[in-house]
Amino acid sequence: MIYFHAGLPKSASTFLKKKVFPKINSIKYIGQPNYDILERQTRYDRTTLTRFFDRTPLVWKEFGKKFFEKISKHKNFDKSKKNLISDANSLVADINDPVRLRNHLSEFKKTLKNNKVSPLKVLLFVRRQDKWLSSAYAETSPHLENPSKEHFEEWVFENLKSNSNYYYGPGIKINYNILYENIEKAVGKQNVLFVPYEMLKK
């Protein structure tokens, strides 16, 4: 069995990867895969899975077996146990299309099944959209020429406007209903867990 922690960014992912996941005794923690299976093309291609997810899902048919071979050689991997892969980068940058994510997860699941590992379970930590947007803006503001409250409001408006960035940028990513529906179609309702970031703080 593979648990796949897919993010979201700005939802305690780094804390979970460093302080929580490695200490769970009931799972084998693999962490974030970083293998040079596919060549880096953009600055967002930080990890193995971002390189996969940023390309057509057909990439799994040629390179999926090699990906599994790399994972299976990890010192913590145990085919007969519960394994956890964590990569919050899988939903960053331009990798925002829930339909493409669904198709990638379907191919990811096929890759595992072909190697006699199933099911694939997806874990996603989500955050109140208004808080998520303000946190995302704060992270990018040092790179902006004139960050301000007014610019933040313009940025939010553009990202939520359906004929502008919504179907490309963060807007579609934080429509959790659409995101959930597509992940569910890929792996099955019983294999999806969305956990609100706000609950973690308690």
Of 126, 110, 114, 123, the C-alpha closest to 83 is 123
- Confidence grade of residue 200 (pLDDT, cut at 50, 70, 90): confident
Q: What is the mean pLDDT of the chain?
A: 89
With a cut of 90, say whether residue 81 has pLDDT above it. yes
Interatomic CA distance for residues 159 and 149, integer angstroms: 15
Q: Per residue in 98-137, pLDDT tens?
A: 888 999 999 999 999 999 999 999 999 999 999 999 988 8
SS3 129: helix
Maximum alpha-carbon separation in the chain: 54
Of 31, 64, 30, 32, the C-alpha closest to 46 is 32
What's the predicted TM-score (pTM) here?
Answer: 0.90
Q: Per residue in 130-148, pLDDT tens?
A: 999 998 888 888 888 888 9
Of 133, 124, 123, 127, the C-alpha closest to 198 is 127
Burial class of residue 141 (count of CB atoms within 10 Å of its CB; 0-12, 13-18, 19+): middle
- Confidence grade of residue 43 (pLDDT, cut at 50, 70, 90): low
- Confidence grade of residue 89 (pLDDT, cut at 50, 70, 90): confident
